[in-house]
Amino acid sequence: MDFDQLLVRFFGTDDISTLPPQRIVDGLEAIRLQFGLEKDEDRRFALWCLMYMLGAAPDVDEAFEDEEDREAARDFMDMADAEMAEDDEE
């Protein structure tokens, strides 16, 4: 799943910085609902990554039953956090 496509799907735009706070809350609720219902592991992981990037992801141990999925999520968190730290330094 493409990040921008997910933003458009759940928020109606790929630039959520332009949205009013309630629209962001509504979009996050829709993502959480879809995450809970999603059976496809890859899509589920993509939804979790989006929630993480938006500061709303559930804990890795609660979100994923499979240890490989948990480890992949931790790896994603490390990469995303390193990227954000680089951006902060610039």
pLDDT tens track for 24-83: 999 999 999 999 999 999 999 999 999 999 999 999 999 999 999 999 999 999 999 998
pTM above 0.85, yes or no: yes
Contact 36, 49 (CB under 8 A): no
DSSP string, the chain: --HHHHHHHHHSSS-GGGS-HHHHHHHHHHHHHHHHH---HHHHHHHHHHHHHTT-PPPHHHH-SSHHHHHHHHHHHHHHHHHHHHHHH-
Domain residues for the domain of 36 are 3-89
pLDDT of residue 87: 75
pLDDT of residue 60: 96
Q: Provide the number of structural domains found in the chain.
A: 1
Residue 89, pLDDT > 80, answer: no
Q: Which residue has the tokens 């330094």?
A: 89
